[in-house]
Amino acid sequence: MTKLERITARERAYVQEVLEAQFRTSAGSRMNTRLERKFAERFQSRYAIAFINGTATMHAALAAAGIGPGDEVIVPPLTMASTSFAVLHAGAVPVFADIDPQTWVIDPKSIEEQITSRTKAIIPVALYGLAPDLDALMEIAARHKLFVLEDDAECFLGYYKNRIVGSIGHASSFSFQSSKHMTSGEGGMITTNDEHLANEIRRFGSLGYAAVGATVGKITKDTIQDPAYERHASLGFNYRLPELCAAVALGQLEHLDELVTMRIEAARFYQQAVAGCRWLVPQATPPGYVHSYWTYTLKLANDNAFTWADFRNKYLALGGDRFYAAWQLTYLEPAFRGQVFGADQSQEFKRGLCPVAEAIQPHLVQLKTNYFDPTLAEQKAEALHRTIRFFER
């Protein structure tokens, strides 16, 4: 694979097109409209609606689904806290279900255990680029009449049983934040096949404007200049994606296959480096799943004679890059730990809530895959192999 440029002439040309229009209102939303149409097509959905970030997307989808105060939304604890923040932004309460011990994504069995009369939705996360068991989740949701919002911020062009991730839940959220497979610095997208839901999502993210909808992101001058026009059909936020960001995202989308393949190739180098190592275990990818490898993540065995920090320091000394630990489990973050967000909150946010996640999180190693030069990715995999050999002496 040849070296890639993350930002190409295509993105620059689209940005220049926006600048040459000088932000005239008559030219507004052109890039957003083009981006949304292409995104919907690529992710096999009827509708795609652009947002300022991948947290606003989830807030809007939950609100559009009618979820609010008194409701509970089941989420995984092992992910970026934004997933749970979005639930709180909607006025609902996050409820944490434990994770599968091999795939580290939300466990359907644990979801079943957490359902109460107040449960209204599930937000499964495609962790590190790997989908959860979406068939099982959708079956649970159908039985209990729950809304399923896929959080696919880390999963572009991942597949679940021959279906693209982002086309299976009632709605799906993507992020264009700078670390993601495709980026516009910040930004996000919601996909759905439900026209009513798409209309509500658009209005919620566009100040409640009456004239916008599933495929319409801008009010025309003829409409808005009428003195009798009633603009705001409902309350909403200004969560719209700027045209400059949309221009960059459109260019990124048009070479997304290359950007994802680059990360998958980096993951293959790592796979070769860890082959045969019994104390460094990769995230399991079940048959029929295609992992898109936002990161390549490994779990250190619990009984090693060395620590997570020892491993990281040696990897750096032998030529590896700095890597992240997994996020602290959301309910153990200071913003959540011991907090009560609802009068009838069914969980106490403290250690012991999700024992599988608590056992795994301290031992995770999240290795970078965004190497636009494959030679560099190969070098980092070799550094990993040398690190393994050092600790096996």
Provide the CATH number for the domain around residue 122: 3.40.640.10
What is the extent of the structural domain holding 40?
Answer: 9-255
Q: Name beta bridge partners: 119.
A: 72
pLDDT for 77 = 98
Position 257, amino acid: D
The owner of tokens 């409820």 is 95
Tell me the Ramachandran region of residue 38: left when phi exceeds 0, alpha when psi lies from -120 to 50, beta otherwise.
Answer: alpha
Active site residues: 180
pLDDT tens digits along 309-351: 999 999 999 999 999 999 999 999 999 999 999 888 999 999 9
Number of domain units in the chain: 2
Question: Token pair for residue 96?
Answer: 């944490």
CA separation for the pair 128, 100 (Å, rounded): 14
Closest C-alpha to 50, from 212, 239, 200: 239
The CA distance from 333 to 81, in Å, is 9
User: Is residue 367 one of the residues assigned to a domain?
Assistant: yes
pLDDT of 139 higher than 90: yes
302 shares a domain with 182: no
Same domain flag for 245 and 279: no
Average pLDDT, the chain: 95
Q: Is there a domain that residue 2 lies in?
A: no
Task: Give residue 307's pLDDT.
Answer: 94
Alpha carbon 7 to its chain centroid, in Å, reads 21
Higher-pLDDT residue of 192 and 215 is 192
Residue 351 lies in a domain: yes
Residues 131 and 150 both lie in one domain: yes
Q: Would you place residue 230 in the very low, low, confident or very high pLDDT band (cuts 50, 70, 90)?
A: confident
Answer with the one of 207, 232, 255 that is the final residue of a domain. Answer: 255
pLDDT class of 215 with cuts at 50, 70, 90: confident
What stretch of H or E contains 85? helix 82-89
Q: How far apart are CA 165 and CA 176, in angstroms?
A: 16
HEC profile for 42-77? HCCCCEEEEECCCCHHHHHHHHHCCCCCCCEEEECC
Residue 20 included in any domain: yes
Judge if 236 and 337 occupy the same domain: no
Instruction: Write the pLDDT tens digit of every residue in 245-274.
Output: 999 999 999 999 999 999 999 999 999 999
For residue range 188-213, list pLDDT tens digits in order.
999 999 999 999 999 999 999 988 98
CATH number reported for the structural domain that contains residue 315 in this entry: 3.90.1150.10
Looking at the predicted structure, is the pLDDT value of residue 169 above 90? yes
User: pLDDT digits over 68-125, tens only?
Assistant: 999 999 999 999 999 999 999 999 999 999 999 999 999 999 999 999 999 999 999 9
Whether 110 and 164 map to the same domain: the answer is yes
pLDDT-based confidence at 27, cuts 50/70/90? low
Give the DSSP per-residue string, 119-143: EEEE--B-GGG----HHHHHHHHHH
Answer yes or no: do 262 and 149 share one domain: no
Nearest to 191 by CA among 150, 154, 157, 163: 150
Q: Are residues 265 and 215 in the same domain?
A: no
Is the predicted pLDDT of residue 303 greater than 90, yes or no?
no
Same domain, residue pair 139 and 240: yes
Phi, psi for residue 147 in degrees, rounded to 5 = -85, 130
Q: Within this chain, do residues 117 and 245 fall inside the same structural domain, yes or no?
A: yes
Is 1 a residue whose pLDDT tops 80? no
The verdict on 203 and 79 lying in the same domain is yes
Q: Look up residue 295 and give its DSSP letter.
A: E
Residues 235 and 352 in one domain: no
Distance separating alpha carbons of residues 285 and 290, to the nearest angstrom:
8
Specify whether 331 is located in the same domain as 246.
no
Report how far residue 169's alpha carbon sits from residue 234's, in angstroms, rounded to the nearest whole number: 25
pLDDT of residue 225: 79
| pLDDT bucket at 216, cuts 50 / 70 / 90 | confident
Whole-model pTM: value is: 0.96
Q: CA angle, corner 215, sides to 214 and 216, nearest 5? A: 100
Predicted pLDDT at 218? 77
- Residue 220: pLDDT above 80? no
What is the pLDDT averaged over residues 42-56? 98
Instruction: State residue 217's pLDDT score.
Output: 81
- For residue 271, the model assigns a pLDDT of 98
pLDDT score of 23: 87
- Domain boundary, last residue among 227, 255, 283: 255
Cβ atoms of 142 and 108 closer than 8 Å: no
